[in-house]
Amino acid sequence: MYDKLVIGGREINSRLLVGTGKFPSNSIIPDVIMGSGAQIVTVALRRIDFDSEDENMLNYIPQNCILLPNTSGARNAEEAVRIARLARASGCGNLIKIEVISDNKYLLPDNQETIKATDILSKEGFVVLPYMSPDLMAAKRLVDAGAAAVMPLGAPIGTNKGLKTREMIKILINEIELPIIVDAGLGKPSEACEAMELGAAAVLVNTAIATAKDPVAMAEAFALAVKAGRKAFLSGTGAVKEYAEASSPLTGFLA
């Protein structure tokens, strides 16, 4: 069956995207990426600290991966645009995940500023993947602004709480033509599977893998769950009924 995820005109061979933050050591990242089967891998951009020895994340990401830099640290559209332009200057491609956050307690994205940044960057030729609070009107505006996909959160970043925004995400899946990638909050493979069963095009997972006791095995578990969920979605799940319905005929019983 032909079932490829397409983002910005490019075929992506895995519906699991992984983040590279919070791992106990960078040295396990290559195995995590391998185990996850992910092709798109997120990274962030930060100032170099000249007073400390620091490693470059790029040394740990396999060459065949597509880098998805985020604009974390941006508090408004202007800062997101600045970070995006810098990221592109690194030569890592034109994908960008817009992340505009000014709320430090819940790290919830600012949809309005995200729409503004999406509009500017898509006109500059970026393939824009905006992280957003699942809201239908905001998602429609992101489509108009030229987004390549829409990335609603399942729960606040790093909480591992699961698909708390399920109903809102379902509305986005039904109403928005672009791929819906559930980003943030998914804590367990079953929750990633649930998002895929609903019809999400992909999921992005970082904390749940990075903070697992065995991150490599957890990456493999997420990969299986995403495949299972996608297959279930394509198979068309059966209807939910209020009352029992026997699986065998209710005739021909022994007298």
Partner 1 sequence: MEISLNGKKTDIDEGLSLIELIEQKGLEPERIVVEYNHQVLSKEHWDKTILKEGDNLEVLRFVGGG
CA distance 125 to 85: 11
Of 141 and 218, CB closest to partner 1? 218
Question: CB–CB of 83/74 below 8 Å?
Answer: yes
Give the 3-state secondary structure of residue 81.
helix
What lies within 8 Å, CB to CB, of 169 at 6+ separation is: 134, 152, 154, 163, 180, 182, 195, 198, 200
Taking contact as CB under 8 A, which single stretch among the options 23-31, 148-156, 221-229, 235-243 is the one that binds partner 1? 23-31
Place of tokens 């970043």: 157
Q: What's the min distance (Å) between Cβ of 39 and partner 1? A: 16
Q: Does 108 bind partner 1 (CB under 8 A)?
A: no
Q: What's the min distance (Å) between Cβ of 159 and partner 1? A: 12
- Applying the rule CB under 8 A, the residues between 25 and 84 that interact with partner 1 are 26, 29, 42-50, 54, 56-59, 67, 69-70, 72, 82
241 is catalytic: no
Taking contact as CB under 8 A, which single stretch among the options 7-15, 16-24, 118-126, 226-234 is the one that binds partner 1? 16-24
Residue ranges of alpha helices (H) inside 203-244 are: 207-210, 215-235
Among 6, 34, 86, 136, binds partner 1 (CB under 8 A): 86
CA distance 103 to 80: 15
Q: What's the min distance (Å) between Cβ of 13 and partner 1? A: 21
Among 113, 196, 207, 219, binds partner 1 (CB under 8 A): 207
Taking contact as CB under 8 A, which single stretch among the options 110-118, 136-144, 202-210, 220-228 is the one that binds partner 1? 202-210
Q: How many angstroms separate the first and last alpha carbons of the chain? A: 48
Q: What's the min distance (Å) between Cβ of 218 and partner 1? A: 15
**The CA-based dihedral angle spanning residues 32, 35, 38, 44, taken in that order and rounded to the nearest 10 degrees:** 0
CA distance 253 to 231: 37
> The tokens of 90 are what?
């690194």
List 4, 97, 116, 231, catalytic entry:
97
> The tokens of 205 are what?
């997972």
Task: By CB under 8 A, name the binding residues for partner 1.
Answer: 19-23, 26, 29, 42-50, 54, 56-59, 67, 69-70, 72, 82, 85-87, 89-92, 157-158, 183-184, 204, 206-207
- Residues serving a catalytic function are 97
